[in-house]
Structure 1
Amino acid sequence: MNLDDYRLTGNRKIDLGEIPTTEGKTDENEKIRDEVIPPLVDRLQLLHQKLNAEEKHGILVVLQALDAAGKDESISYIFSNLNAQGLKVTTFGKPTEVEQKHDYLWRMMPALPARGEIGILNRSHYEEVIAPRVHDNVLLDGDYPAGVDEESIWPMRYKQIKNYEKYLHDNNIHVVKFFFHMSKDEQKRRLVERMKDPDKQHEFSFSDVEEREYWDKYQEVFEDMLNETSTEYSPWYVLPADDEWHTRRLVNEAMIDLMEKLDPKFPEMTGEDKKKLEEYIEKLENE
């Protein structure tokens, strides 16, 4: 796969309506699941082990989409295979009363990975430039700096988010972002499937259907978000989410691509530690 076909780095503007939600890969689901993804997961596991052992770089993964687009499944089928000691998952919901008393990026701090970890955000700080715009929510008075109104606050927040992600990148926390681009028809099919299947009804929320009324507004806001916050150091990947297993393959490949560029290595013992190790090996072998 040519990841450049899906990666946005800010060098071009996109029209989200012209980007396909499917590449006709649904018929290949079983082959991708059984033959393509397992070796990719094996490669990702090894790279994660090295990343975790080296403790030089951290990776923050942003998963953003509408309901039923496949975020949870990506976590289940891909990231759950990684070493739990070097993995953390955070799901952002509606800000709590305490969170509303702080700046909108404040609640990001506990979710950030340490060097050596992969942190996964199921929804993220990007909710703060999505939900308020879609629903025309009035932000709190404290959210508006002097001279900023309900229109100018969004370009300001885009700039702040890019600066924040650059700050993380400069401190060896690398942000990679996945947008699950799903069609309205496919979302309907998946929601109906959940609603009719007793074993999946726990995954359904009535708000999932209610939010469909804002579909066009969401697409407009998503497009703006993708165009305004894609950078070379923190790219967005726009995934054809109608093709479930193909999308999971792309997430795997994008993660592998980033980690291979970071080139983590298992630490090697040197000096006195290496000498002591050799002594202890000899000691145990001679018992």
Structure 2
Amino acid sequence: MNYDTFIVPPGSNISLKKNYDPAYKTDFNQKADAAIKLQADIERLANYQNILYAQNTYALLIIFQAMDAAGKDSTIKHVTSGVNPQGFQVFSFKEPSTEELDHDYLWRTTKALPERGRIGIFNRSYYEEVLVARVHPEILKKQQLPYLPEGNKIWKQRFEEINGLEKYLVDNGVIILKFFLNVSKSEQKKRFLERIESPEKNWKFSDNDVRERVFWDDYMNAYEEVFNHTSTKLAPWYIIPADRKWFTRLVVANIICTKLQELNLQYPTVSEEHRQQLIGAKRILEQEDEPMNLKDKGKNK
């Protein structure tokens, strides 16, 4: 599978409607085949995570952005089903708290960054500040900013700040993968209706979800601006077709595994002194069995 298809080329001006099909599924025609491939990648990810944790050099930050009902939660659940919780963390960012509004807009996500050796997932992220805040500019008035640049200068400023942050992170060993789950408006409607009609899914639905659909085109324009200004060589955006959840999970899992494979992760090598300590420890442990063996020999006489 050629994943260049899903990357937003740095410096480009893409159109979600023209360049990216939410229903695209490449040459995979059967969900059963995709399930086999997904399971293989789940196992690969578990193995890579073990080495990442042991090496303790890199951290992996995975960012998910999407419209409501695009499948972020289920994608995270399925793709990471085999990872060790000890080296894994997920943060979901919703409306900022009073404490968070008393800091700069990057504060709440920066303090949640994964440590070296760990995989961290942001379910929504600092990109909300150039998406939701752009569609609903009244949000900026709550952020207690010292001043607001005129026109669209605030968004250009934030794009530059975000690019600067991501370059800093990558330079310091935080590998960044950014996924936009590209669901169509018609598929979102279908999933909303399923949530309303299924009692076990009612809790997932809010009437605010329907109200936000009115701003669909505004959100698409805001996302395009984000992709065109923040898809960089160091941290490109991947636009993942999301009308078929099975295909979304397949692509996301394989991209994560491919990125970890590219890091050429290795288990740490021990010093000669440490190796000698291991040999000594092995000798001591093996000698613990000798008294038991003598007793057994006595019983057999």
**RMSD, aligned CA:** 1.6
Q: Distance in 1 between matches of 2:157 and 2:222?
A: 15
Q: Corresponding residue for 2:40? A: 39
Query: Is 2:118 aligned against 1:117?
Result: yes
Q: Corresponding residue for 2:3? A: 3
Other structure's SS at 2:224 match: helix
State whether residues 70 and 183 of structure 2, in contact with CA within 8 Å, keep that contact through their aligned partners in structure 1: yes
Q: Corresponding residue for 2:186? A: 185
Query: Is 2:31 aligned against 1:29?
Result: yes
Q: How does 1:187-206 map to 2 (within 5 A)?
A: 187-206=188-207
How far 1:286 sits from its partner (Å)?
2.2
Q: Distance in 1 between matches of 2:268 and 2:103?
A: 40
Q: Identify which range, 149-158 or 159-168, moves more after superposition.
A: 149-158
Other structure's SS at 1:200 match: helix
How far 1:149 sits from its partner (Å)?
2.2
Q: What per-residue deviation string (whole Å, max 9, x for no partner) do you get for residues 55-102 of structure 1?
A: 000011100001110100111101232111111100101111111111
How far 1:16 sits from its partner (Å)?
1.0
Letter in 1 for 2:91: T
Structure 1: give runs of 5+ residues left out of the alignment.
none
Q: Distance in 1 between matches of 2:16 and 2:105?
A: 26
Q: Corresponding residue for 1:213? A: 214
How far 1:116 sits from its partner (Å)?
0.3
Letter in 1 for 2:6: Y
TM-score by structure 2 length?
A: 0.90
How far 1:175 sits from its partner (Å)?
1.2
Q: Distance in 2 between matches of 1:223 and 1:66?
A: 13
Q: Corresponding residue for 1:98? A: 99
Other structure's SS at 1:43 match: helix
How far 1:194 sits from its partner (Å)?
1.2
Other structure's SS at 2:189 match: helix
Letter in 2 for 1:13: N
Q: Identify which range, 50-59 or 2-11, moves more after superposition.
A: 2-11
Q: Distance in 2 between matches of 1:168 and 1:258?
A: 16
The alignment of Structure 1 onto Structure 2 pairs a total of residues equal to 285
Q: What per-residue deviation string (whole Å, max 9, x for no partner) do you get for residues 125-157 of structure 1?
A: 0000011111232523743557x2242100010
Q: Identify which range, 264-273 or 65-74, moves more after superposition.
A: 264-273
Other structure's SS at 1:68 match: coil
Q: Corresponding residue for 2:248? A: 247
How far 1:266 sits from its partner (Å)?
1.2
TM-score by structure 1 length?
A: 0.95
Q: Distance in 1 between matches of 2:151 and 2:104?
A: 17
State whether residues 90 and 122 of structure 1, in contact with CA within 8 Å, keep that contact through their aligned partners in structure 2: yes
Letter in 2 for 1:106: W
State whether residues 9 and 235 of structure 1, in contact with CA within 8 Å, keep that contact through their aligned partners in structure 2: yes
Q: How does 1:139-150 map to 2 (within 5 A)?
A: 139-140=140-141, 142-143=144-145, 145=147, 148-150=149-151
Letter in 1 for 2:137: D
Q: What per-residue deviation string (whole Å, max 9, x for no partner) do you get for residues 105-131 of structure 1?
A: 011122100010111000000000011
Q: Corresponding residue for 1:16? A: 16
Other structure's SS at 1:81 match: coil
State whether residues 59 and 114 of structure 2, in contact with CA within 8 Å, keep that contact through their aligned partners in structure 1: yes
Other structure's SS at 2:137 match: coil
Choose 1 or 2 for highest CA Rg. Answer: 2
Letter in 2 for 1:213: V
Q: Distance in 2 between matches of 1:41 and 1:264?
A: 17
**Identity percentage of aligned residues:** 37
Q: Distance in 2 between matches of 1:180 and 1:76?
A: 15
State whether residues 25 and 247 of structure 2, in contact with CA within 8 Å, keep that contact through their aligned partners in structure 1: no
Q: Distance in 2 between matches of 1:179 and 1:144?
A: 32
State whether residues 29 and 244 of structure 1, in contact with CA within 8 Å, keep that contact through their aligned partners in structure 2: no
State whether residues 55 and 117 of structure 2, in contact with CA within 8 Å, keep that contact through their aligned partners in structure 1: yes
Q: Distance in 1 between matches of 2:76 and 2:66?
A: 13
